[in-house]
Amino acid sequence: MQVKLFVGNLPWSVGDAELNDIFANHGDVQSARVISDRDTGRSRGFGFVEMETNDLNALIQATDGYEIDGRNLRVNQAEDKPASGRGGGGRGGFGGRRDRY
């Protein structure tokens, strides 16, 4: 089955290739991406891995707590992002000023 994992507590030095290498020992990795800051380009310390696995719980157990550069990774199944995307906030497109209408 195809799974998407959230990987937190990444050292700043880890890039996409290193993240891929960590999980490649545990199955067929389709993508591994470290999230970087839009302005600075620096790692934000977390990423996402999409891969094939027959046993999600065993995969998480094998990788959660894995130590790299003195940091223990936090690994869990990624939650889908809400369809509405950013903002939300219940403004309904009126910018919070419904009294003008």
pLDDT given at position 6: 98
pLDDT given at position 15: 96
pLDDT given at position 81: 74
- What are the strands, taking DSSP E only, across 1-101? 2-8, 28-36, 43-52, 67-68, 71-72, 74-77
CATH: 1.10.3720.10, 3.30.70.330, 3.40.50.800, 3.40.50.300. Which one for 2-77? Answer: 3.30.70.330
Domain boundaries, the chain: 2-77
Whole-number CA gyration radius for the chain: 18
pLDDT truncated to tens, each residue of the chain (101 aa)?
999 999 999 999 999 999 999 999 999 999 999 999 999 999 999 999 999 999 999 999 999 999 999 999 999 999 877 766 555 555 555 454 444 44
| 75 strand-pairing partners | 7
12 token code pair: 């700043």
Residue whose structure tokens are 């839009």: 38
